[in-house]
Amino acid sequence: MFDRVDKPLLITIIILLISGLIIFGSAALGVLSVNEVKFYAVIKTQLIYALIGGSIALCIGTYIPYQFYKRYAYQLFGFALIFTTLVFVPGLQRYHGGAHRWIDIGPFSLQPSEALKFAFVGVVAFWCTKYRHLFRDMRYGLLPYLLAAGVVSVLLLSQPDFGTYLVIMTASFVTYFVGGARKKHIYTLIIAGIIGVVVLISLRPYMLERVKTFLDSGHDPRGASWQLNQSLIALGGGGLTGRGLGQSVQKFNYLPEPIGDSIFAVLGEELGFIGVIFLITLYGIVGVRGYVISKYSRDQYGRLLAIGVVTIILTQATLNIGSMLGVLPLSGVPLPLVSHGGTALMVALFELGVLLNISKQSTLV
């Protein structure tokens, strides 16, 4: 199964997954100090999702020929849309942190929007492959993209899940751009996107608070700016080499979500600048190998799908790391293969498996 895949990418994925589990285990000690039962529960579920579910997802993504997603692009996108609407169904929906982003199925909790990321990128890649020669006509270029993006936007912003929305829109836009979109259509999308974000910020108080925090970390230090300030304290306290694995202070009742959104800050405090650079380098290798695989893909669809997948991973990592460093507003996006979140972890490994499958059939081998 893995004999013809891109070996540097596969090795990087394994190192990233193992490193993520180590970082997660250390960050989870902050949970242990508050709730021992929850600590063992999150450790157990993360290990199950990563070592069992994640490994299976990676193997499935690597084994299934990527042409399958081209053949059933519409069906997969339709299923992902329906699956995502389940977060609004009473009895299935789970409300947490002011949002409806999860569904409960028996003992498991799932986040359907994770599947929507891959499905939307897949259908955009398919459309660009099939109708690229007709993109001068808006009916085959800009309008279909806007229609699909509009449906996705309504579903995600109604939850609300602005972080996932940014990831999906960025990845689909890059796929559409590389797929041959006309310049004037690209400019139209950029202008529409800027206007849309401004309108959203003005209509959503919590988003406006995040922007104020980004512009002034001293704004509401006990409220909206608390997470950013605690993150900066953690990262600053780590110095060059860190306090040592397991020795973070900020994860104990200071950092909100030390196993989730704030896990990068825990890493920086414990392993310092060296640990931060190590993790960023791993994501960088994934990005470089992903774009190389895209370049040497045997067909246009494989090229665009690879671009979309690697953009999903890199955008999510950038949003998380940037928000913890204070160079981007807080987005609530988890760190790929590191943060707590079973669905996100499994889907990310599946997407990386698809990337490995594309590499198997590329001219690299």
**Cis amide prior to 258 (ω within 30 degrees):** no
Mean pLDDT, rounded, of the chain: 87
Where do we find the tokens 């704030």? 262
Stretch among 118-132, 166-180, 323-337 having the lowest mean pLDDT: 323-337
Give the pTM: 0.92
Q: How many residues are listed for the chain in this entry?
A: 365
Tell whether the model's pLDDT for residue 98 goes beyond 70. Answer: no
Percentage with pLDDT > 90 across the chain: 47
Q: Where are the domains of the chain?
A: 7-360
**pLDDT tens-digit series, residues 281-332:** 999 999 999 999 999 998 999 999 999 999 999 999 999 999 999 888 888 8
Region 243-250 average pLDDT: 88
pLDDT above 70 covers what percent of the chain? 94
The burial of 98, by beta-carbon neighbours within 10 Å (0-12 exposed, 13-18 middle, 19 or more buried), is given as exposed
Q: In this predicted structure, what is the pLDDT of residue 180?
A: 86
Q: What is the pLDDT of residues 104-127, one digit of tens each?
A: 776 667 888 899 999 999 999 999
Angle between helices 36-47 and 7-27 (to 10 degrees): 170
CB distance 358 to 306 below 8 Å? yes
Segment among 146-155, 277-286, 334-343 with least mean pLDDT: 334-343
User: What is the arithmetic mean of pLDDT over 90-97?
Assistant: 68
